Structure 1
Amino acid sequence: MAETAVFNLLAKFSLFFQREVNLLSGVREEIEYIRDEFERMMAFLRVADSMEENDPELKVWVKQVRDAAYDTEDVLDKFKLNFARNHGTGFCGFVRKISFSVMTLKARYQIAYEVQRIKNRVINISMGHQRYHDRYGILEQGSRSIGVNNAWYDCRGDALLLEEAELVGIEKPKTKLIGWLMEGDPRLKVISVVGMGGLGKTTLVKKVYDDAAIKKHFQIRAWITVSESFKIEELLKSMIHWLFKEVKQPVPQGVETMDWNSLKGIINAFLRQKRYVLVFDDVWDIQAWQVFRYTFPECNCGSRVMLTTRNADLALFSTREYNGYVYDLQPLSPQESWALFCKKTFQENYCPSHLEGLLTSILRRCEGLPLAIVAISGLLSVKDKSSVAEWEKTYQSLGAELEVNNQLLSMKKILSLSYSDLPHYLKLCFLYLSVFPEDHLIEHWRLIWLWIAEGFVEVKEGAPIEQVAEGYLNELVNRSLIQVAKINGKRRIKLYRIHDLWREIIVFKSREQNIVTIASERDTRWPERVRRLSIHDHLEHLQQSKRFIQLRSLLLFSATYSPSMSSMLASLRDLKLLKVLDLSGASLKIFPNEVVKLGHLTYLSLKGTEVKKLPKSIGRLKNLEILDLRHTYVTELPDEILNLQRLRHLLAFRYEEKRNYYSFNNECGFKSPVEIGSLTSLQKLGSIEANHGSGSIVPREIGKLTQLKSLGIIKVRGEDGMALCSSLEKLINLYALYVTATEEDEIIDLESLSSPPRLLQTLFLKGHLEKLPHWIPSLHSLVTVCLRWSKLKDADPLQYLQGLPNLVYLDLVEAYEGEELCFKAGGFQKLKILLLIRLKGLRRVTVMEGAMPHLEELYIENCKLMEELPSCIEQLINLTLLDLFDMSDLLLSKLNRDLPGGDYWRISHIPEVWIGDTKDGRWRGTNM
């Protein structure tokens, strides 16, 4: 973490020296000295970050560096806030500059004093750096074997000794893997088993490896444990010893002194013309895999290579290269978890009735993770089975037990290996997840914006910072450190969550390194300096006596309005260095005026509050980049919003709760200043009203926002078409476009758009279309198309869409008034989700052979003239879900599975079929 703190500080030094600074004599030189010292320490910090867990003295030094970097950053920001002003030019500017210098003389002396104090600290820290450089300097070359801790018992090896009778939930995945290994294809194949640490990947694969059928099928077997800190030569030598031992032959002479290329040659020659199975256990990254990938000869003997990994990217990369398979190992089911826990704790599949409630709670925390279940059951197996209080105490203190109990310590260490393997920029992003309360679902864009506002995301030339942050998030998902909780209908990840036990580890490490301070009734420990404060539960847990003058971030969760909140909001005016303020969901009705005094504020979220109006003073927040007003009652922005020239994301919309999801006027947006085009840094804007102001001025202004990537515009009139099309042609970076007409009969005229944004991935059009825009077929990047209330009368509206090569999601709501839709052969090759809603004239859906081959979900609702299922629906073999709501009685009657000659056979291959209606205003569904 210290490395990231210093990295951010060095970037601030660069900006500081680019500006004219009015400092006392000698102070600039001292700041340059501090910068140079931090630059010298930077090279060693990456090594130190990876080693501090095993060296308490080094850990103290790293903390000193981190704290000094934070304090230096505070000084620079104080200067920026108080002294970096533009006094103008000419004689008047000179006079103002002199006058300002006199008025701020005392403050500049204070800055000089703080700089001197920090310089003295840095000198002492640098002496410690030299001492550690002498001790560890040879390791700065980046050896992967640095920092291996042998002081704890690595119980992963126990997986190789477990009897199959002790295992739970292994039979199904074992059968699947054996089938893949022994299938008849003679080509070399790679099979990857992927999942988070503690899921039992090694245990599963070892049981497959030792199965009698596998032993009989393959001539040669070898098991190679790679691990995080592998050394190439040692692994290759170990592999050679294992292989020659298999055939009871002596190892070739000279192996111990050979380089790794020669070692690979021996392995390759040995395996030729043999049917072999090789297991590489615990492979961490693609670099480790590439050490071995060319060692395997391709002899068309039906050989197989298996690997276990926590890295989904590696699993996909290795199997794709060798026509293989990925097995994504899932957590145990609640029933399997119960069985495993009882077997380990009570030596039978039985739990005393008085402990059942507690056992349910404990297993909920384990979330199907076998390693956690085994470790915690081992801890509780020695507890008094008759004492509910003793079990309750253990459950309540589980987080603390992770740190002190020997049985749980190994589990924590194994899970922590994944954390230790992270690059420095991901470690800080990962620990930052501790700001979210337990079981909180984490919104995709909220997390990305918070990371950016906190300064965690490195700026890379040619890549938008949001894209870099999304890469960070994808890497954490692929490393199985964060779980996908919800994917929206358009196949985009919307929500994430953290495994409960991972969260315990994250909270501990975050507290230890003073990344985040949590205020809740469960956690009352406070560091000397609070930089990021996350308030869980109620504000009563906030220590009102504390002064948070160094606070950079404040986030509230589940905070109700109370005197404590009023007091907390009043204290905001003292938090001069605050950059992040997230009041999402707080019981606020009035915008807190104290907020506008936060000159450093970069991120402000009032999402889900009852705030109705922004003050004109909002324009004072010159550094604001993200303003989230979603699901508030703000319907108009003051002209002063145009002063926020750094604003990149401006979102203000809500959906009317009393209206149906498929109601036309269910979305409320905002009226903007007519010169909204002056906010040229905007990348996300929604939902702005088009009919605000005279003529089509707002649609014309949008054309000036050339950095826009996502645009939501509502209340579009027919006469706005020309101006809107002209603007859209200028938005070459746009990837998401949402357009809604003023009323459902209002025509959206987009025909004059001659050069649509080529990067467009999402197109949402809500309103009457005389015909489908001619330019749609040219948008080969389109993934999502939603057409609502289009009322198309074309003979075949699908002809414009069926050739789109990347279309995954198609949503048609009152979009077509004809009698037939025809999905032609070869069309919609990537379509996975299709919605046909309220197509009231529709009688037939024809699906020709070869159309929609990858369709997974089909929703047909309120198309009551349809009397038959879509033709050839039985050929849609990848269909996993069919939803039929408010359909004709004749169509539904044919789906009775007991009806001779009925249509049930045509949908019998679909795992999930739902049939229902909206009688009495409620959905009634039946899973067939």
Structure 2
Amino acid sequence: MAEVAVSFAVDQLLPLLREEANLLRGIHKEFADIKDELESIQAFLKDADRRAAAEGDNKNEGIKTWVKQAREAAFRIEDIIDEYMFYVGQHPRDPGCTTSLNKIAHLIKILMPRHQIASEIHDIKLSVRGIKQRSEMYSFEQGSSSSTGCPKGQWHDPRVASIYIEEAEVVGLEAPREELAGWLGEEMIERTVVAVVGMGGLGKTTLARKVFDSKKVTGSFDCSAWITVSQSYTVERLLREMLEQFSRERQESPPKGVSKMDRNLLIHEVRKYLQQKRYVVVFDDVWNVNFWGEIEVAAFDNNKKSRILITTRSMDVAEFCKKSSVVHVHNLQPLTPEESWKLFCKKTFQFEFDGCCPEELVNISSEIVQKCKGLPLAIVAMAGLLSTKQKSALEWKKLSQNMSSELDMNPHLSGITKILALSYDDLPYCLKSCFLYFGVYPQDYIVNSERLIWQWVAEGFVKDVKGKTLEEVAEQYLTELIRRSLVQISFEVDGKVESCGVHDLVHEMIVRKMEDLSFCHCIGKDDQSTFNGIIRRLAIATNSNDLVNNIKSSHIRSLHIFTNKKLQDSFVRNIPMKYRRLKVLNFRDVPLGNVPENLGNLFHLRYLSLRNTNIQSLPKSIGKLQNLETLDLRQTQVRKIPREVRKLKKLRHLIAYHLNYKEDFVMSWDWDKGIQMNDGIGSLTSLQTLCLVEADHGGVELIRELEKLTQLRLLWLNHVKQEYGSALCVSISEMHHLESLHITAIVEDEVIDIQFTSPPAQLQQLRLRGKLEKLPEWIQELQYLVRLSLSYSKLNHDPLESLKSMPNLMYLLLYDAAYEGETLHFQLGGLQRLKELTLRSLYGLNSIVIDKGALPALKRFTLRDIPQLKEVPFGIHHLENLEVLDVADMPNEFDERIDPAAGQQRWIIQHVPIVYIRHKLGSKFSVFDTRIIHHSRCN
């Protein structure tokens, strides 16, 4: 992590040296010297970080100290850069400062801070130079690393046992094994790659081994080999192992001189050997995305139905093979709760209690199994430990409550975190900080990806890439973490990750790492810990001021509050003074009543979330937050934005609305309230997100000012009048990057009059809430539109006639009188990519016809509150891929027809795995009495 801290410091120095050369004057050379010294240190840090974490190294303490010094020197550099930029921002030279007295006053103001900064920089320079010199005594190996991060033989790798696991001990792999065996046995003559992808500890090696050891599967191949690749490998070693295993299997001698052959000769020998043979080779534990490019020439396509089986944590490794081979990918999933329990009992009680859990241990055992979250590695390790313990519920309870420390200290469990940590060690430094950031959030916390990305950007983790916004680059970072099986998707919409999280045990590993590396300190509800060293980020889940006040706050860059109890006013009031270098301030879901008047003291603040707090206004000092990028005011009582916000030239995301979920907003036009900005919005030229603004408070002039916001990706306007139509079209036509557009009319019968001659080419989401005289023709031109939502449109003509040919539409919502006709007809070949369809509160609709061949990709179909629809949609049985049918508040006749016991049309939905029949309870929007019907789908 010192590597990360130092690299981050260098990344900050580079633009400073480029952009501030004139301002820095004498300080410039000192900064440049520090940069050079740090860059020379970077080369040693990867090996130093690895050895600092190693066990059994005689120089371990010395190396740890060196790494700590390098990390803290980087922190000091980051601090002094922030300090310098603060004084540059607070004391710019006044162009009107012409008199001698004014000049003298200005100099007095800035000379003292500048002198202090220069002195600190010089001290840092000497410190860094000393750190560099001390590196020589440790004989670091530049760039070297081992697959475990530990000297050979210092820990027991539990993955070794997974290769030799007995058949009777295997749980939950039956279906995956059949799928893999089927792919390996296909009749296709071309070489095929079968990839098993999943996070560490899921059982990829066990699965592959069981398939490989099956004579039924591999018996039809002429030769086979099992090659363990791991993080550190050479192509030469892999090729030699292949030749040796092939020869040993056929009781032949390997080629003469194989141990001395170079790569080219080895490739030639492997190709010659495989020329006329049908072969299968397993490459276990592949990390490097370039692996296939290095090995495919030897394991070539001989048109003999040959097969390659790869296990990997990275989806990119699997997909890289597609450039030259047919590829089948199996995403290995965690065990189900039932499978987890079965595996736990097999391992814990294999020699007693007939393999069953005693009744007095069932509850605590279930708790322990649940914490493993379906990860076989963790279940087996915990079971192995408990099998050695006295069968006492009290003792097991203590272990469960202290699992975090047990994972670190208990030799039975330490292998779990080491194996999971391999994925962290393999990350490039720009992703390590992003990954560790998941530890800022509490365990089991589902993180909104948009929020996460904005925080990464605010922290400075995201590098500039030409032609991309920082948010787009950060989205790529998140995608890579997902593809490396480190981050789990919780919810995905429109092909983009909406929310995500990490496995509980991965979270435990992250928390320990970030505490050791001074990345973040988390204060839990019952935390009584003390704090030593520099803390860069602070996550608070307690109201204890005693704990918080013990922290040296001057170094903290991020403050996250995770409590639903009111904070002490003194703590909140002191934040702008105590935490002056904050870049991220997250108050989300905290019952906060007021924002400190001196909020503007937080000069470096880039991300401010007041979401779901009780605040009613913002202080005027907010205009001093010159670096603010994100202002999140969702679900607050703020209705008017201070004029001073116009000064926030770097503001990229302004989100402020209040949705009233307490009432049935189907019946209420104003269930969503926005903010009022009468003028000056056009000065916020960096805005990418603006939602939602009540347009009538600025009128046509506000709409015209929107024309200046050319960087907008998302625009949400409320209270739009018909007369704004022409000006709105002109403004939106200048938003060449616009991806999402939401427009709500001022009243239900107000016409939304938007007639584009050239609609936004990149638009992916469109939501129109208000009357349409007819479906706008320009909607059909939106080639990239993924989601369309229409309500109160009061269309008389079937809109599907116009929408059926839209190539990328995946989500269609027609609700609240969007259509007043009697019939909707989904025609043959229409809406080929649609995944979700919602029809709600369409009061005239009495029939739905679905042609065979329409909606072939539909997975979820929702019908709600359509009082005239008493017949099940004709043709619904054609929807072969439908997974969920959600029926809510439909007529009794409709429910009776699909009743599983006596319904006349129950046959028509028997192919749908899950059918919900709901009836609303009370006035709230989403509270239902729900009946679930499960059908088994035949393959």
TM-score range, shorter chain: over 0.9
Instruction: Give matches, 1:229-308, under 5 Å.
Output: 229-308=232-311
Deviations 1:798-847 (A, max 9, x none): 23222221111111112211122222222212111111112222233222
Give the letter for the 1:13 counterpart. L
Shift of residue 20 of structure 1? 6.3
Alpha-carbon separation, structure 2, partners of 1:838 and 1:881: 19
Shift of residue 329 of structure 1? 1.4
Give the letter for the 1:63 counterpart. K
Alpha-carbon separation, structure 2, partners of 1:850 and 1:460: 43
Bigger mean CA offset, 251-260 vs 414-423: 251-260
Q: Which of 580, 585, 588 is residue 576 of structure 1 equivalent to? A: 580
Partner of residue 12, structure 2: 12
Shift of residue 122 of structure 1? 1.6
Is 1:853 the counterpart of 2:856? The answer is: yes
Is 1:611 the counterpart of 2:615? The answer is: yes
Partner of residue 729, structure 1: 733
Give the letter for the 1:493 counterpart. V
CA contact (8 A) 2:599 2:619 kept: no
- CA distance 1:106–1:701, shift in 2 (3 Å): closer
Partner of residue 664, structure 2: 660
Q: Which of 160, 181, 206 is residue 157 of structure 1 equivalent to? A: 160
Give the letter for the 2:123 counterpart. R
Shift of residue 423 of structure 1? 0.8
Shift of residue 130 of structure 1? 4.2
CA contact (8 A) 1:729 1:754 kept: no
Instruction: Give the match's secondary structure for 1:92.
Output: coil
Partner of residue 500, structure 1: 504
Q: Which of 866, 881, 885 is residue 884 of structure 2 equivalent to? A: 881
Shift of residue 856 of structure 1? 0.9
Alpha-carbon separation, structure 2, partners of 1:66 and 1:47: 14
Deviations 1:493-527 (A, max 9, x none): 22212211111111111011100011222461412
Give the letter for the 2:315 counterpart. A
Partner of residue 602, structure 2: 598
Alpha-carbon separation, structure 2, partners of 1:33 and 1:324: 51
Partner of residue 110, structure 1: 116
- CA distance 1:282–1:574, shift in 2 (3 Å): same
Alpha-carbon separation, structure 2, partners of 1:896 and 1:603: 52
- CA distance 1:337–1:919, shift in 2 (3 Å): closer
Bigger mean CA offset, 306-315 vs 27-36: 27-36
Shift of residue 155 of structure 1? 1.9
Alpha-carbon separation, structure 1, partners of 2:911 and 2:150: 51
Instruction: Give the match's secondary structure for 2:560.
Output: strand
Partner of residue 514, structure 1: 518
Partner of residue 937, structure 2: none
Alpha-carbon separation, structure 2, partners of 1:277 and 1:554: 53
Give the letter for the 1:232 counterpart. V
Is 1:206 the counterpart of 2:212? The answer is: no
Partner of residue 36, structure 1: 36
Alpha-carbon separation, structure 1, partners of 2:227 and 2:697: 68
Q: Which of 483, 487, 498 is residue 488 of structure 2 equivalent to? A: 483
Instruction: Give matches, 1:39-78, under 5 Å.
Output: 39-54=39-54, 56=60, 57-78=62-83
Q: Which of 644, 647, 650 is residue 646 of structure 1 equivalent to? A: 650
Alpha-carbon separation, structure 2, partners of 1:530 and 1:893: 63
Give the letter for the 1:66 counterpart. R
- CA distance 1:414–1:165, shift in 2 (3 Å): same
Shift of residue 474 of structure 1? 1.0
What TM-score, normalized to structure 2?
0.93
CA contact (8 A) 1:46 1:424 kept: no
Deviations 1:682-724 (A, max 9, x none): 011100111113x412221111100111111111111111111
- CA distance 1:849–1:686, shift in 2 (3 Å): same
- CA distance 1:317–1:773, shift in 2 (3 Å): farther
Instruction: Give the match's secondary structure for 1:399.
Output: helix
Partner of residue 744, structure 1: 748
Partner of residue 126, structure 2: 120
Partner of residue 328, structure 1: 331
Bigger mean CA offset, 377-386 vs 448-457: 377-386
Alpha-carbon separation, structure 1, partners of 2:264 and 2:417: 37
Shift of residue 30 of structure 1? 3.4
CA contact (8 A) 2:373 2:504 kept: yes
Instruction: Give the match's secondary structure for 2:39.
Output: helix
- CA distance 1:547–1:304, shift in 2 (3 Å): closer
Shift of residue 452 of structure 1? 0.9
Is 1:691 the counterpart of 2:691? The answer is: no
Partner of residue 341, structure 1: 344
Bigger mean CA offset, 670-679 vs 105-114: 105-114
CA contact (8 A) 1:187 1:298 kept: yes
Partner of residue 894, structure 1: 897
Give the letter for the 2:403 counterpart. L
Is 1:763 the counterpart of 2:766? The answer is: yes
Partner of residue 531, structure 1: 536
Is 1:166 the counterpart of 2:169? The answer is: yes
Deviations 1:163-215 (A, max 9, x none): 01112222232223223322444443222211111011111121121123113
- CA distance 1:424–1:661, shift in 2 (3 Å): farther
- CA distance 1:93–1:696, shift in 2 (3 Å): farther
Bigger mean CA offset, 458-467 vs 74-83: 74-83
Alpha-carbon separation, structure 2, partners of 1:886 and 1:834: 17
Gapped regions of structure 1 (runs ≥ 5): none
- CA distance 1:346–1:36, shift in 2 (3 Å): same
Partner of residue 912, structure 2: 910
**What RMSD in Å do the two structures reach over aligned CA positions?**
2.4
Alpha-carbon separation, structure 1, partners of 2:147 and 2:330: 29
Instruction: Give matches, 1:774-789, under 5 Å.
Output: 774-789=777-792
Shift of residue 143 of structure 1? 7.9
Partner of residue 833, structure 2: 830
Instruction: Give matches, 1:410-449, under 5 Å.
Output: 410-449=415-454
Partner of residue 413, structure 2: 408
CA contact (8 A) 2:775 2:795 kept: yes
Partner of residue 712, structure 2: 708
Instruction: Give the match's secondary structure for 1:882.
Output: strand
Deviations 1:533-558 (A, max 9, x none): 11123334624144312221111001
Partner of residue 676, structure 2: 671
CA contact (8 A) 2:567 2:592 kept: no
Partner of residue 474, structure 2: 469
Instruction: Give the match's secondary structure for 1:406.
Output: coil
Alpha-carbon separation, structure 2, partners of 1:34 and 1:184: 63
Q: Which of 787, 793, 796 is residue 793 of structure 1 equivalent to? A: 796
Shift of residue 314 of structure 1? 2.6
Alpha-carbon separation, structure 2, partners of 1:568 and 1:307: 53
Shift of residue 677 of structure 1? 0.9
- CA distance 1:367–1:93, shift in 2 (3 Å): farther
Shift of residue 308 of structure 1? 1.1
CA contact (8 A) 1:444 1:495 kept: yes
Partner of residue 369, structure 2: 363
Give the letter for the 1:179 counterpart. G
What TM-score, normalized to structure 1?
0.94
Alpha-carbon separation, structure 2, partners of 1:602 and 1:170: 47
Instruction: Give the match's secondary structure for 1:295.
Output: coil
Bigger mean CA offset, 885-894 vs 142-151: 142-151
- CA distance 1:773–1:51, shift in 2 (3 Å): farther
Alpha-carbon separation, structure 1, partners of 2:917 and 2:323: 39
Deviations 1:881-916 (A, max 9, x none): 11222334444333244559x332222111111223
Shift of residue 78 of structure 1? 1.7
- CA distance 1:791–1:3, shift in 2 (3 Å): same
Shift of residue 26 of structure 1? 5.8
Give the letter for the 1:313 counterpart. D
Alpha-carbon separation, structure 1, partners of 2:836 and 2:471: 27
- CA distance 1:816–1:349, shift in 2 (3 Å): farther
Instruction: Give the match's secondary structure for 1:274.
Output: coil
CA contact (8 A) 1:148 1:229 kept: no
CA contact (8 A) 2:438 2:501 kept: no
Give the letter for the 2:718 counterpart. I
Alpha-carbon separation, structure 1, partners of 2:489 and 2:645: 36
